[in-house]
Amino acid sequence: MTKVLVIRLSAIGDVAMTVPVIYSAAKANPEDSFTVLTQAFLMPLFMNRPSNVEVIGINTKGAEKGLVGLLKFTSALVKYDFDIILDLHNVLRSIIICTFFRLNGRRVFVLDKARKERKQLTAIKNKKLHPLRPVIARYADVFRAAGLNYTESFTSLYEKTPADLSGMESIAGIKKGKWIGVAPFAKHRGKIYPVDDMEQVVARLSECEDYTVFLFGGRGYEEAVLEQWEFQYPRVKSVVGKYALDNELALISQLDVLLCMDSANMHFASLVGTRVISIWGATHPYAGFYGYHQDSGDVIQENLPCRPCSVFGQKPCLRGDWACMTQITPERIVEKVKASIK
pLDDT above 90 for 171 = no
Any idea what DSSP says for residue 45? Answer: G
250 close to 162: Cβ distance less than 8 angstroms: no
The predicted structure's pLDDT at residue 149: 98
pLDDT digits (tens, 9 = 90+) for 115-163: 999 999 999 999 999 999 999 999 999 999 999 999 999 999 999 999 9
Q: Torsions phi, psi of 35, nearest 5?
A: -120, 125
pLDDT digits (tens, 9 = 90+) for 189-219: 999 999 999 999 999 999 999 999 999 999 9
Question: Which pTM value belongs to this model?
Answer: 0.96
Share of the chain above pLDDT 90, in %: 96
* Strand pairing class (178-183; 107-110): unpaired
Mean pLDDT throughout 252-274? 98
Phi-psi category of 328—alpha, beta or left, where left has phi over 0 and alpha has psi -120 to 50? beta
pLDDT above 90 for 104 = yes
Q: Is 76 exposed, middle or buried (0-12, 13-18, 19+ CB in 10 A)?
A: exposed
Task: Report d(CA 288, CA 321) in Å as an integer.
Answer: 26
**168 — pLDDT class (breaks 50, 70, 90):** confident
Task: Report d(CA 70, CA 91) in Å as an integer.
Answer: 13
The predicted structure's pLDDT at residue 79: 92
57 bridge partner residues: 38
The predicted structure's pLDDT at residue 170: 85
Q: Torsions phi, psi of 300, nearest 5?
A: -110, 120
Instruction: Please give the order of strands across the beta sheet that includes 211-215.
Output: 236-238, 211-215, 178-183, 257-261, 276-279, 299-300
pLDDT digits (tens, 9 = 90+) for 47-79: 999 999 999 999 999 999 999 999 999 999 999
For the chain, the straight-line distance linking the first and the last C-alpha, in angstroms and rounded, comes to 50
